[in-house]
Chain A
Amino acid sequence: MSNAIQPAGDHEVFEEPVPPMQQLLDNPFLLLFIGIAVPTVLYIVLGVMEIVAIPIAK
């Protein structure tokens, strides 16, 4: 979270930059994207591709 949106009246002492990992963890929608994309690709898409590739018995 950037300092600009912290409530006024908060006594800021230091203007430390927020570490990138914390920025990621503070962003629920980015996390939501990761949490859907990773299993969709690695589990569902790769899994279904393997099933579809099975030759049909004649």
Chain B
Amino acid sequence: MAVNRMFRTCPASGLVFHEPAENLMKANAVAAAVSLLVGGILAIGVTLTRWQAVHMLPPDSFYLFLTAHGLNMLVFWIIFFEMAILYFTSSTLLKCRLAAPGIGWVAFWMMVVGALMNNYAVFRGDSSVMFTAYAPMGAHPTFYLGLILFAVGALISCFVFFATLVVAKSEKTYNGSVPLVTFGAITAAIIAVFTIASGAIILVPTFLWSVGFIDHIDSLVYRTVFWAFGHSSQQINVSAHVAVWYAIAAIVFGAKPLSEKVSRTAFFLYICFLQLASAHHLLADPGLTSNWKIFNTSYAMYLAVLASMVHGLTVPGSIEVAQRQKGYTNGLFEWLRKAPWGNPAFSGMFLSLIGFGFLGGISGVMMGTEQLNLLIHNTLYVPGHFHATVVVGTTLAFMSLTYFLIPVLFRRQMMFAGMAPWQPYVFGLGMMGVSLFLMGAGTLGVPRRHWDIAFAGNPLPYEFPGSAWLMMALAGISSIFAFVGGAMYLAITVGSVFFGKKIETPGFKEISAQQGMVGRPQPAAAPADTTVIAGHQGGVGAGGMCMVAPGTFVLAIVFLVSFVLYYFINWKYLSTVWPLR
């Protein structure tokens, strides 16, 4: 089979795109956006039902919508987008041809068919088992089959990614180590392989059970292995969105990582320890010992949290250093005040970082502590926490990357360019509100996945305090902002990609490259961005942090103080749950 070696150099960014890789990125990104649209529409039904004053859907549809919302958002939107990121960070950043694009397409179509099949099962109405699908609660066989197809497709894409790394190395398209952003993507892909393998281990028998070949699935084993899939897939997201943070810092500011060594070591901590935190989902399960629970959550998880804190510091730190070099040296925060807050790629990324750290990170450590976990187990605090991580953190980071990709990958001018600067604020702040208020309701004991906290017509009623109802209403109101922000994002991206003005480059042609390597691009304007995302330089050591980036250092102290305070407040709160009198 002839190998397609056609490349184009993006005149705006200097990035090099391999034609088949580019098409795969586009296809995966479009599939992601479609999933986000479906999931977003379903979110309206979910939220407006939980907002007791509106209480929109009847119970059956509520659980159906909730199941489909979780799957389309958490699984389909995020993973399709991640596949586009894997192709970008391997082929484009390493200036290498994509290995086996044909297999990439097979994987893509498996994922599409899998996603459709799974949605079909849920919308039939007999598979409202939530995305966790805990056995012995059973769904229609196509529910599991769809998920399995989707997962295997994603696994194949990961192997195309790894194969591209091999090609790049043997065709010598880069020197030394891969760029940091690609290293982050490698971390994501490694976690993805473990995640998907665990998913297969548990979903294949569950599928066989749903068609009657196996007569029993142990529910505790299901839950344990399921969370190796369900939780680790969140860690793919973390690694991917941290890589996106680094990429955007490089693209927008030309920022270089403060220390390649420290950032890479932090990713290495992710590879070793992040997946173990899956045990936090089982903290209230009988049968597993505290040894196992505490080792996996507290000990291992803290090492992974340490790594996240390193990333959360080095990304703004590197931005601060880059800004100070541009002359924004007044006071502690001039570099931040004078940052391009009107550029949605930057504002989205920065809100993602702050929201992920302050809301998602702090609440995550609290609930991952075995003793504290029982304060909020299975309450709305849990969705509150993960909407901070996976929506404000991952989704917003991916959205901000899209603003960079519209001109560069899709070669279109942005539609609604006047609206785009507002989108990250409307979506990000709305979603932070949703997270906070859901956490508030959870702290007051409101359960998650619950159709009616009024318990109307029940023989054994329970009355939640008025403040809990207020929290639910505030979450509902914030989510309206989030819907508007999500709709703005989809209008801008879909509009630009399909109807935006094409960016024509005079004299443009795709160049065939020998050995898969393109001649170094020499566009007229120096592509400052790419050399930074695709290159790597040693920076200042992390030890010099408080000297070179004092503003970030202060932010870090604020973060740590909030963290410690919140953590101890919860211990205090725990001590009042069953007081000794």
**A interface residues with partner B (beta carbon < 8 Å):** 1, 5-7, 10, 21-22, 24-26, 28-29, 31-32, 34-36, 38-40, 42-44, 46-48, 50-51, 54
Contacts and interface: CB of A to CB of B under 8 A. Distances in A.
Interface string B170-181: 001001111000
Given A25-B183, A35-B275, 16 more contacts: A6-B176, A24-B268, A25-B265, A28-B162, A28-B186, A32-B162, A36-B197, A38-B273, A38-B276, A39-B228, A42-B300, A43-B296, A47-B288, A50-B289, A51-B218, A51-B220
Contact of B275 (A21, A28, A43, A46): A43
A8 to B, nearest CB: 9
B175 A39 contact: no
Contact of B175 (A7, A34, A38, A47): A7
Contacts of A24: 268
A54 B187 CA distance: 35
Nearest to B272: A38
Given A32-B162, A36-B197, A38-B276, A51 B224 contact: yes
Nearest to A29: B162
Contacts of B268: 24-25, 31
Interface string B553-581: 00000000000000000000000000000
B200 to A, nearest CB: 13
B324 interface: no
B292 A35 contact: no
B193 A35 contact: yes
Q: Which residue, A24, A28, A48, A54, has most C-beta atoms of chain B within 10 A?
A: A28
Given A32-B162, A50-B289, A5 B172 contact: yes
A48 B223 CA distance: 10
Contacts of B233: none
A5 B288 CA distance: 49
**5 closest A-B pairs by CB:** A35-B190, A39-B275, A35-B271, A47-B224, A7-B172
Contact of B221 (A5, A10, A35, A48): A48
Nearest to A47: B224
Interface in B184-203: 186-187, 190-191, 193-194, 197-198
A1 B272 contact: no
Q: Is the interface of B mostly helix, strand, loop or mixed?
A: helix
Interface residues of B, number: 42
A43 B276 contact: yes
Given A10-B175, A31-B186, A54-B287, A44 B224 contact: yes
Contacts of B178: 26
A43 B278 contact: yes
Q: Is the interface of A mostly helix, strand, loop or mixed?
A: helix
A56 to B, nearest CB: 11
Given A31-B186, A42-B296, A51-B287, A25 B172 contact: no
A34 B271 contact: yes
A35 B275 CA distance: 9
B224 A36 contact: no
B278 A31 contact: no
Interface string B276-290: 101100100001110
Contacts of B177: 1, 22, 25-26
Contact of A25 (B220, B264, B292): B264
A21 B177 CA distance: 12
B232 interface: yes
A31 B296 CA distance: 20
B172 A31 contact: no
A51 B165 CA distance: 39
Contacts of B289: 50
B279 A47 contact: yes
A36 B221 CA distance: 19
A51 B279 CA distance: 13
A32 B190 contact: yes
Interface string B212-230: 0000001011001100100
A34 B97 CA distance: 27
Contact of A42 (B187, B197, B276): B276
Contacts of B287: 50-51, 54
A48 B264 contact: no
A5 to B, nearest CB: 7
A50 B271 contact: no
B295 interface: yes
A35 B224 contact: no
